Structure 1
Amino acid sequence: MTDDQERRGPAGSQDPTEPIRPGFPAPGGLTGGSVPPAEPIPNAPDPFSPTGAPTTPPPGGPGEPPPGGPGETPSGNRAWWWALGGLVLLAIVAVTVWLATRGDAGGDDGASPGATPSGTVTSEAPSEEPSPEPTTEVTTPPATGCTPTEGGTPAGASTHEIIDVDFDGRPDTAWLTTGADRRFGITTASGATFSAPVTTASPVPASAVVNLVAAGDGEAPIALVDVGREVLLYSVANCAVNVTQNAQDEPYTFDKGFSGFGTGVGCTAVDGVLHLAGLNAMSNDGSTYTVARTFVDLDESARRATNGQTETVAEGVPASDPVVVTAQETSCGDLVAGGADPGGPVEPQG
């Protein structure tokens, strides 16, 4: 017997080219080889439950996830975090109160909030000012001058106060005696007396000046003794009077117009230091003059002299010109030998 109603075979045996007829599946569900309905998923939430709670057996069954696992509800998570946050906040407040209480108990009322907690003790070593090192004041002992000698200024000698020749800070005294054995000498404030003979054939009374001039790399005291025809040069350094020698080991003298080599002697300031020089005022007509100057180089004690550079300092000047007048005198700086206001001793007369 032939059944002309087509039967559906198992799923997957349908011809893919066959169109799906309306009315499939048939009312009443699948029959015969139909796939049975799937079992419900454990713990799946009931979509129709008002709370969305899962329709599962009580906890402890095979389908219960570990506590805190993915099966936990969002509302449970929030409640747990709020509780944890409250505990942390409470702990912070408690620690803050404890610290504030300890700080107030260990410090005074004026302590700053940032003070070190009482549990930590800090101290600073008191600063010690370095003790001043003892200072030794170096002082130069005062010069004592020349050693005192027996005797002193000869009786009847002409005296004049002069510069400090022994550098003890006190002015000294120059003197001249008269007679056949006339002498020039110095008596210092310290009590020392030293002298040298005035050796000359000139009958003119002697006059003298004493000053400090350039000598070697420094300065030394010298004496110029004018005897009219010539001027004798003495060193008065190192507590002694010594005749200054020339290059030929003879007494160094300045001419005063007697031998034609010069007319006078003076001291010219160079860079604040007096330099000894021989002067010569020359005239062809008796009314105008040319003045030449020759510097004298002295060793450090002024006991040896040599001629230095010669230069012309004036030309065609009248006899009244100060340059000509000075060139005919015996002077050193502001000191002039003899005259109305002598700068040194003058040999006594009579």
Structure 2
Amino acid sequence: MDLPRASRPLATLAVGCLLLTGCGGAAQPEAPPSTSTPSSTTTTSGAASTSPAAPSPSSSSSGTSGAGCAPTGQEVPAGAAVKQTADLDHDGRPDELWLADSTPSSSGGALERRLGVRTASGGVFSVTYTTGSPIPTTAIGQSLDPSTSIVLLSDGRQVPLYAVLTGSGVGACRLVPSLNAQGQQYTFDLGFTGYGSGVACVPVSQGSSDPDAELALYGLLVTGGQAEGDLPGITRTRIELTDGGRQARNGPTDAPAELQGINPEGAQVAAARQVRCGDQGPDTAVTEPTP
């Protein structure tokens, strides 16, 4: 069931608590080059733009706009896959994510893969991306706190991280890659390179049952369990986001004793191999349409 974050059910909170106490992980060390690469331009649907990744202070901010993103007059491309997601522009209403393979006139006939947002207030904006994975991409979005919303785009191998920038005025709301210390897009691993296994967002306050609790972003890594009789363990790395999500850095990593020697077929290991953020996960993800 697609619900706004404000209506997160207690069952979903239980999953969050499970992840907090029973899974974790490691994103790649400040993200080596990704197999999923965003274009250098962020665009509104159907119109190319050369806007830089960071907006000018006069046009937008990393905080909440209160009234949601301004209507852009743009439309989601025909044939796009659309799915309700969390409240990404902090106006109290759930928004939508979409994925499309379209051929805008500005590209000279070249096919573009596009990840986009349509807010309840009428803002439509997107970014192009590429990936070497043979499977359709999926995406989930979430508001982590009143000033930070993210989108996680998975190609089954890696998960590039995007920030949803909000602000007042037409064009202020945009979707941009979150950058690591090397200036590359921060990208989680799903076991393809061995740096991680999954992604999770869990309440900042441990044990919180508040459906509006602020969330922290974690990389997950299942370790061990390869030899006969060797049970797996889980480590977790907190991802520190700043500047409204524009910047992402690896925070502390730990491997709690209670997460070592656990059931390889259990819920903790299964959760550590998924991409989930609060009440948004595989069951709420939008999936790229296939030709």
Identify the TM-score tier after normalising by the shorter chain: 0.5 to 0.7
2:272 partner amino acid: A
Give the drift of 1:334: 2.6
Q: Check conservation: 1:165, 1:221, Cα contact below 8 A.
A: yes
Give the 5 Å matches for 1:1-350: 143-178=66-101, 180-214=111-145, 219-238=147-166, 239-271=173-205, 272-283=213-224, 284-285=226-227, 288-313=231-256, 314-337=259-282, 342-350=283-291
Distance 1:213 1:169 in 2: 13
2:279 partner amino acid: D
Give the drift of 1:289: 0.8
Distance 1:334 1:189 in 2: 19
2:266 partner amino acid: D
Equivalent position SS for 2:243: coil
Distance 1:219 1:297 in 2: 14
Give the drift of 1:274: 1.1
Give the drift of 1:167: 2.4
Distance 2:274 2:124 in 1: 28
Q: Check conservation: 2:236, 2:254, Cα contact below 8 A.
A: yes
Higher RCO, 1 or 2 (CA under 8 Å, sep at least 6)? 2
Equivalent position SS for 2:101: coil
Measured on the aligned residues, the alpha-carbon RMSD in Å equals 1.8
Q: Deviations over 1:263-295 (max 9, x none)?
A: 111112121321001000012327621100000
Give the drift of 1:164: 1.9
Q: Deviations over 1:14-52 (max 9, x none)?
A: xxxxxxxxxxxxxxxxxxxxxxxxxxxxxxxxxxxxxxx
Superposition TM-score, scaled by structure 2 size: 0.65
Give the drift of 1:170: 2.3
Identity, % of aligned positions:
38
2:216 partner amino acid: H
Unaligned residue ranges in structure 2 (runs of 5+) = 1-64, 103-110, 167-172, 206-212
2:152 partner amino acid: L
Which one has a bigger Cα radius of gyration? 1
Distance 1:246 1:143 in 2: 29
Give the drift of 1:181: 1.5
Distance 1:320 1:269 in 2: 25
Equivalent position SS for 1:325: helix
Unaligned residue ranges in structure 1 (runs of 5+) = 1-141
Distance 2:271 2:147 in 1: 23
Equivalent position SS for 1:318: coil
Q: Check conservation: 1:294, 1:307, Cα contact below 8 A.
A: yes
Distance 1:229 1:256 in 2: 5
1:245 partner amino acid: L
Give the drift of 1:168: 2.6
Superposition TM-score, scaled by structure 1 size: 0.55
Count of residue pairs brought into register by the alignment: 202
Distance 1:273 1:167 in 2: 13
Q: Check conservation: 1:202, 1:227, Cα contact below 8 A.
A: yes
Q: 1:192 to 1:219 in 2, by over 3 A?
A: closer
